């Protein structure tokens, strides 16, 4: 069997020092075909951005491996175009210069005139020719994200990684840009991984929707294939039975994964004053000398219940 275009094999990642280490991602497996549009839906704080950083090569996984066309991913590079959640435009460069910086880096062999033309083409593609000379601070959020998309697509990446690209935008701009992303990915046959917290957005855009369970220890759920014909009309979609079903299943899966995490009880403790001092409570060695906490001073105690 031919290896998949992008292959993620049992990737895990944990943050923090040895004592208080929290595992963010556990055993992530994913394979994506060339030209496929995959959306990963998950709660905020579940580790979506961590997963994206690992795919982009900005972070190294603790275990497992990411392979693009069979080659392991060890460092970031322009073949994996990353559209950042907060746009990450350089504020001292205008729209054209922001895109040009990427073009200059990725196509050093081309002549200056070719690179200018290439840059113009992508600025035009996201309909920003009018804002060509504007600085990012003069643009709206939607326009900034379009610049960011143009910068990324101009690098001709093998795979486009979108980390919640639309989450900071208002609903109308969002819908607008969703249509634009659908159009761009369809015309370029671009392989896309979209990370989002909006199941509707995921189903509208993607060929395949994969839920990410709530963290810590987030992992990917089963794939939901979306066979709705393109171009998809968001108004018609609301009444499409397949859309409704996938949406229900994805949301149910996410809610179920969350329920497991919420099984903890917080209660007030009232204890008599006669208990001995709790010597196991950590105190700073230097500085303000805190006396040990008495049991009766512990106001709340959290008890985790494993379901």
Partner 1 sequence: MKDSKFKKLDWLILPILGVGAVLILWQVVSASVSKELPNPGKTWAASKAYVVEPFAKRGEMDQGILRFTWYSLVLVAKGYALALLIGTPLGFCLGLSKTFAKTFDPIIQILRPVSPLAWLPLGLVLFLGAGKQASELGALFTIAVCAMWPTVLNTAVGVRAVPQDYLNVARVLKLSRTKTLFKVLIPATLPYMFTGFRLSLGIAWLVIVAAEMLTGRPGVGGFLWQEYNALVYEHIILCIITIGIVGFVLDRLMSVIERRFKTA
Contact positions vs partner 1 (CB under 8 A) = 56, 58, 75-78, 80-82, 84, 86, 88, 90-92, 101-102, 105-106, 135, 137, 155
CB of 107 to partner 1, least distance (A): 12
Q: How far apart are CA 146 and CA 54, in angstroms?
A: 23
Which lies closer to partner 1 via its Cβ, residue 194 or residue 226?
194
Residues contacting 169, CB < 8 A, separation 6+? 141, 142, 145, 177
CB of 89 to partner 1, least distance (A): 8
Q: Hey, is 30 helix, strand or coil?
A: strand
CB of 80 to partner 1, least distance (A): 8
Using alpha carbons, select from 72, 68, 67, 124 the residue that is nearest to residue 95: 124
C-alpha gyration radius of the chain: 24
Q: In angstroms, how far is CA 131 from the centroid of its own chain?
A: 28
Q: CA distances (Å), 60 to each of 56, 66, 70, 119, in order?
A: 10, 9, 17, 31
By the 10 Å C-beta count (0-12 exposed, 13-18 middle, 19+ buried), 74 is classed as exposed
CB of 81 to partner 1, least distance (A): 8
CB of 215 to partner 1, least distance (A): 21
Which lies closer to partner 1 via its Cβ, residue 93 or residue 251?
93
Written as six digits, the tokens of 179 are: 């249509």
CB of 284 to partner 1, least distance (A): 22
CB of 150 to partner 1, least distance (A): 14
Written as six digits, the tokens of 6 are: 């992008």
Task: Considering only the C-alpha atoms of the chain, give the largest distance between any 2 of them, rounded to a whole number of Å.
Answer: 83
CB of 154 to partner 1, least distance (A): 11
The DSSP element (H or E) to which 22 belongs, if any, is: strand 22-32
Residues contacting 142, CB < 8 A, separation 6+? 169, 173, 174, 176, 177
By the 10 Å C-beta count (0-12 exposed, 13-18 middle, 19+ buried), 107 is classed as middle
Q: Hey, is 209 helix, strand or coil?
A: strand
């Amino acid at each position: 069997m031919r290896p998949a275009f992008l292959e993620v094999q049992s990737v895990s990642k944990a943050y923090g020092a040895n004592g208080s280490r929290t595992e963010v991602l556990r055993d992530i497996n994913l394979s994506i075909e060339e030209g496929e549009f995959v959306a990963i839906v998950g709660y905020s704080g579940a580790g979506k951005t961590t997963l994206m950083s690992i795919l982009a090569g900005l972070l190294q996984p603790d275990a497992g491996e990411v392979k693009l066309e069979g080659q392991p991913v060890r460092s970031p590079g322009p073949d994996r175009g990353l559209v950042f959640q907060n746009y990450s435009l350089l504020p001292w460069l205008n729209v054209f210069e922001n895109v040009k910086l990427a073009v200059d880096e990725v196509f050093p062999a081309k002549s200056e005139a070719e690179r200018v033309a290439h840059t113009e083409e992508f600025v035009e593609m996201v309909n920003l020719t009018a804002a060509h000379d504007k600085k990012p601070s003069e643009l709206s959020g939607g326009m900034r994200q379009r610049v960011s998309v143009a910068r990324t697509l101009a690098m001709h990446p093998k795979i486009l990684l979108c980390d919640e690209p639309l989450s900071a935008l208002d609903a109308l701009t969002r819908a607008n840009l969703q249509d634009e992303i659908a159009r761009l990915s369809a015309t370029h046959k671009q392989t896309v991984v979209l990370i989002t917290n909006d199941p509707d957005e995921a189903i509208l855009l993607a060929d395949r929707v994969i839920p990410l369970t709530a963290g810590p220890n987030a992992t990917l759920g089963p794939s939901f294939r979306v066979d709705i014909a393109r171009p998809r009309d968001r108004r018609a979609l609301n009444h499409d039975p397949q859309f409704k079903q996938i949406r229900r299943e994805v949301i149910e899966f996410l809610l179920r994964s969350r329920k497991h995490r919420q099984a903890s009880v917080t209660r007030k403790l009232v204890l008599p004053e006669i208990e001995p001092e709790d010597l196991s409570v950590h105190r700073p060695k230097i500085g303000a000398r805190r006396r040990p906490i008495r049991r009766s001073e512990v106001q709340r105690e959290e008890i985790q219940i494993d379901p």
